[in-house]
């Protein structure tokens, strides 16, 4: 399961938040193709249920 699946299928349904219909941001802090390693900051617009 990838990160977006976990956010949309596990985290949000079990939280007090719902995703708003606004753009999300992915900020790639570290990305190394050769080592198959990355660190990404994901910003999701949400509002309380």
Look at residue 1 and tell me whether its pLDDT is greater than 80.
no
Question: What are the tens digits of pLDDT across the range 18-37?
Answer: 999 999 999 999 999 999 89
Which residues lie closer than 8 Å to 26 by C-beta, 6 or more apart? 40, 41, 42, 43
Q: What is the 8-class DSSP label of residue 14?
A: G
Domain limits for position 8: 3-48
Total number of domains constituting the chain:
1
| Residue 18 φ/ψ, nearest 5 degrees | -130, 145
Q: How far apart are CA 14 and CA 9, in angstroms?
A: 9
* Cβ-based neighbour number of residue 23 at 10 Å: 8
What pLDDT does 22 receive? 97
Whole-prediction pTM value? 0.70
Q: In this predicted model, what pLDDT tens digit does every residue of 9-18 receive, in sequence order?
A: 999 999 999 9
């Amino acid at each position: 399961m990838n990160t977006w699946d976990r956010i949309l299928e596990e985290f949000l349904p079990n939280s007090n938040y719902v995703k708003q219909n606004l753009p999300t941001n992915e900020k790639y802090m570290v990305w190394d193709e050769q080592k198959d390693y990355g660190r990404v900051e994901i910003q999701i617009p949400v509002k309380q249920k």
